[in-house]
Amino acid sequence: MLKKNMPSQRQGNPESVTNYVPHDMRYHAEIIYEGEVSFRMVCCAGDSPFSLATDIRQELRKVKDRLPQIFYVEDVYNKDDITDRFIDNYNNGVYND
């Protein structure tokens, strides 16, 4: 099998991580944190920015000692990268309960 035909080499949209995410929610986020050997990632999802922020908050608390960071946020329906806007709103308390 040619290397270019291997499943790990194929990407539908290289700018999006949602091709590999098994959910149908509108918003998707990736959190990156320190692992034992390298960085690890965890996925968060929500139907609204508020539900996404709740899921992110829970995941950040689970790995708070491993320097977690919100790495990527996408509006899946509009195929829009909203990382900067979401992080600004999240840090300014827009999504607080």
59-83 confidence digits (pLDDT tens):
999 999 999 999 999 988 888 899 9
Strand ranges (E), the chain: 27-34, 39-46, 69-75, 80-81
In a domain, 59, yes or no: yes
Q: Is the dihedral of CA 72, 75, 78, 80 positive or negative?
A: negative
In a domain, 1, yes or no: no
Q: Is 61 helix (H, G, I), strand (E, B) or coil?
A: helix
In a domain, 13, yes or no: no
Whose tokens are 């149908």? That residue is: 24
In a domain, 47, yes or no: yes
In a domain, 11, yes or no: no
In a domain, 66, yes or no: yes
Task: Give the domain range for residue 66.
Answer: 24-91
In a domain, 33, yes or no: yes
Count how many Cα atoms sit within 13 Å of the Cα of residue 66 in the half-sphere of its side chain: 19
Considering the entire predicted model, what is its pTM? Answer: 0.76
22-44 confidence digits (pLDDT tens):
677 889 999 999 988 999 999 89
Q: Considering its fold, how many domains does the chain have in total?
A: 1
Q: Is the pLDDT reported for residue 49 higher than 90?
A: yes
Average pLDDT of the chain is 81
In a domain, 52, yes or no: yes
Q: What is the pLDDT of residue 9?
A: 37
Amino acid, single-letter form, for residue 81: D
Count how many Cα atoms sit within 13 Å of the Cα of residue 76 in the half-sphere of its side chain: 21
